[in-house]
Amino acid sequence: MRNIRLLTAIALTASIAGLSSFSAYAQQYAAVDTTNQPLSNEVCATCHGGEGQGNPVVGGPSLAGLEPWYLRKQLENFRAGIRGSQKDYIPGNEMQASVARLSDAEIDDLVNTIAGWKVIENDHTIEGDLSNGESLYANCAACHGADGEGNEALGAPGLVGRNDWYMFRQIKLFKSGYRGVHPDDTAGKLMRPSTQALKSDQDVNDVLAYINSLDR
């Protein structure tokens, strides 16, 4: 039988949370010595998965592979309450609270660190009609690109390789006015009208099945 072996480090990533949470404590509790306090290690990973691959039950999507400019924008939006501040949408609210106190420097750190994360292939959880999906995707390609690769100039992120369950929910949020309605959310307001092309949940499933079929 094997004895427990501690093998050597197999990967090296900077501790994002070590950076992000420490100064948050320091700011609020300047008077309290936190040197011996355990810090919120990997504070993002608790909700976004151990490898940043997403956790469907908590609702945090995969972060690995997000374009740095888009990631930064979303963190800024959450911090400012442009996204996730409606109290009756709990997952958004939870994410909002988690980053509400980040400083600009911490956001820089996070964007750099997450850029180094290994992209994990996400499970496909949605089934749909590919041919209907393909024709619906005509409403999306102008901004998200013919192959779903995204378009920085328009602020539209790549859609390939994202968690389909997460995209499903985002489309519903855009449709129902939980995203893309804040006066300062220019990018979101650009996105919102196109969801009207998706008339039913089945349409949403179909277009996502098509996006799933595009290669990264």
Partner 1 sequence: MKKFVSRREILGLIAKAGASGAVLQASNALGIVPDSYVDIPKIPPADPSNRPSVVVLGAGVAGLTAALELKKAGYSVVVLEAAGRAGGRNMTVRHGDLIDEVGNPQICDFDDEPHMYFNAGPARIPSSHRNVLHYCKELGVELEFFINENKETYIQDDAMLDGKPIKNREFTTNARGFMAEIMAKNFTNAELDQPFDQWEVEALMRALRRMGDLDEDMLYKGSTRGGYSHGGFLEHGHAHEAVALRDLLKTDLFSMALSQNEGETGPMLFQPVGGMDQIIKGYLRKLPDEVFYNVMVTSVMLQNDGIEVVYEHKGIKYKIEADYCFNSIPTHLMTGIDNNFSADYKEAMAYPRRGEAYKSAFQAKERFWEKDDIFGGISWTNQPIEQIWYPPHGMYKEKGIILSAYNYGGGMHFTQLTQEERIETAIRQGEKVHPNYRNLVEKGITIAWHRMNHMLGCSARWQKSRSGFTQEEERLFQTLRQPAGNRHYTIGDQITKHTAWQESAILSAHWAINDMLARKSGGAMPGQRV
Give the interface with partner 1 as residue ranges (CB under 8 A): 1-16, 18, 21, 24-25, 28-29, 32, 34, 37-43, 45-51, 53-58, 60, 87, 90, 93-94, 97-101, 120
Residues in contact with ligand HEC, counted by CB under 6 A, come to a total of 47
Query: How far is residue 170's CA from residue 94's CA, in Å, rounded to a whole number?
Result: 15
> Burial letters for 5-39: b for 16+ Cβ neighbours within 10 Å, e otherwise?
eeeeeeeeeeebbebbbbebeeeeeeeeeeeeeeb
110 binding ligand HEC? (CB under 6 A): yes
When CB distances are held under 5 to 8 angstroms depending on the partner's kind, the choice from partner 1, ligand HEC, none that residue 30 binds is none
Smallest distance from partner 1 to CB 67, Å: 22
Stretch of residues binding ligand HEC (CB under 6 A), selected from 7-15, 28-36, 91-99, 118-126: 91-99
Which of ligand HEC, partner 1, none does residue 171 bind to, with CB < 5 to 8 Å depending on kind?
ligand HEC
Q: Rounded to an integer, what distance in angstroms lies between the CA atom of residue 134 and that of residue 200? A: 15
For ligand HEC, the closer CB: 4 or 76: 76
Q: Are 206 and 128 a contacting pair, CB within 8 Å?
A: yes
Say which entry of partner 1, ligand HEC, none residue 73 contacts (CB below 5 to 8 A, set by partner kind): ligand HEC
Which of 133, 207, 209, 212 is close enough to bind ligand HEC by CB under 6 A?
207
Instruction: Give the nearest distance from C-beta 33 to ligand HEC in angstroms.
Output: 24
Whole-angstrom distance, CA of residue 210 vs CA of residue 46: 30
Nearest-angstrom CA–CA distance, 50 and 44:
9
Q: Looking only at residues 51 through 90 of this chain, which bind ligand HEC when binding is defined by CB under 6 A? A: 58-61, 63, 66, 71, 73-75, 84
Closest CA to 208 of 164, 173, 174: 164
Shortest spacing between CB 34 and ligand HEC, in angstroms: 18
With b for 16 or more beta-carbon neighbours within 10 A and e for fewer, the 87-101 pattern comes to eebebbeebbebbee
Owner of token pair 């949408």: 89
Fill in the DSSP letter of residue 115: H
Q: Is residue 128 close enough to count as binding ligand HEC by CB under 6 A? A: no
Least Å distance, CB 102 to partner 1, is 10
